[in-house]
Amino acid sequence: MKERRAIAETDRSTDTKPTLKDLDPSERPRERLLERGAEALSNAELLAILLRTGVSGMMVTDLARDLLHEYSGLGGLARASPQELAQRHGLGPAKAAQLKAALEIGRRLLREETAAREPVRSPEDLVRLVELEMSVLEQEQLRIFLLDTKNRVIAVRTLYTGSLNQSTVRVAEVFKAAIRENCAAIAIAHNHPSGDPTPSPEDIRVTQAIVEAGKLLDIEVLDHVIVGRGKPRYVSLRERGLGFRR
């Protein structure tokens, strides 16, 4: 009987999930964060703090590294749906929700800091406001930047989701919020889910229609940027003279 009990206890011990407490204190991500600051930790260590526990036979830090490798980094994790992550061995619904919530908080914080009422001086300024969100979208989305007389961003609004063309993008709708807010200028951004931001002929036609309408309404269209992934990260149609008359 004692022998059976000993075997059972051994089996249970091998099924326990390794935790951060199993690491030497100097190697525990949580302690390292408190001592050195979050910026001193790797992506895997930060992810391990969120996950808290590993799986049978795998330390949580190893699980975090596996996830980053499997999804090609934090960007891939951000693109994955909560449902997909929840089905992954070692995560489940609770951890998947925690992970997606943390990534979303990071995106929103960056957007708030970037949009700290600085005037828009370049396409890069526009892209920084939406890149983290739009570069991971699986559908095309069109957003409008509402700008004041000093080209400072008042708000960013999502207008359309889905394939964009002249039949679906209503020019009047693009300027509706700008007129209501008495904006001096607007800018447009949309994404290419393929990751390639090269403008299509339809992108150019939509841009030209919006620019021409802006002239009639006396609302300047600063730019239309297409957000992608990789290199180049984005394309400015104004810089390329596409849809904008030089």
Domain membership of residue 243 (yes or no) is no
- Are residues 9 and 80 part of one domain? yes
Among 79, 111, 143, the domain boundary falls at 111
Q: What per-residue confidence (pLDDT) applies to 112?
A: 63
Domain membership of residue 241 (yes or no) is no
- Are residues 130 and 95 part of one domain? no
- Are residues 134 and 81 part of one domain? no
Quote the number of domains for the chain: 2
How far from each other are the two terminal CA atoms of the chain, in whole angstroms?
89
Q: What per-residue confidence (pLDDT) applies to 220?
A: 94
- Are residues 132 and 89 part of one domain? no
**pTM, entire model:** 0.58
Q: What per-residue confidence (pLDDT) applies to 164?
A: 66
Q: What per-residue confidence (pLDDT) applies to 223?
A: 95
Domain membership of residue 182 (yes or no) is yes
- Are residues 126 and 197 part of one domain? yes
- Are residues 131 and 171 part of one domain? yes
Candidates 144, 101, 109; CA nearest to 126 is: 144
Among 78, 111, 144, the domain boundary falls at 111
Q: What per-residue confidence (pLDDT) applies to 142?
A: 92
- Are residues 130 and 102 part of one domain? no
Q: What per-residue confidence (pLDDT) applies to 175?
A: 92
Domain holding 19, by residue range, is 2-111
Q: What per-residue confidence (pLDDT) applies to 14?
A: 47
Query: What is the three-class DSSP state of 182?
Result: coil
- Are residues 195 and 132 part of one domain? yes
How far, in Å, CA of 163 to CA of 149, rounded? 32
**CATH number of the domain residue 122 falls in:** 3.40.140.10
Q: What per-residue confidence (pLDDT) applies to 12?
A: 45
Domain membership of residue 246 (yes or no) is no
- Are residues 231 and 125 part of one domain? yes
**CATH number of the domain residue 25 falls in:** 1.10.150
| Cis status of the peptide bond prior to 232, with omega within 30 of 0 | yes
Among 64, 93, 111, the domain boundary falls at 111
Residues in the chain, pLDDT under 70 = 1-26, 110-117, 164-167, 246
Domain membership of residue 138 (yes or no) is yes
Each residue's pLDDT tens digit, 41-52: 888 888 888 888
How far, in Å, CA of 41 to CA of 54, rounded? 18
139 to 40, 41, 112, 126: CA distances (angstroms)? 35, 33, 24, 20
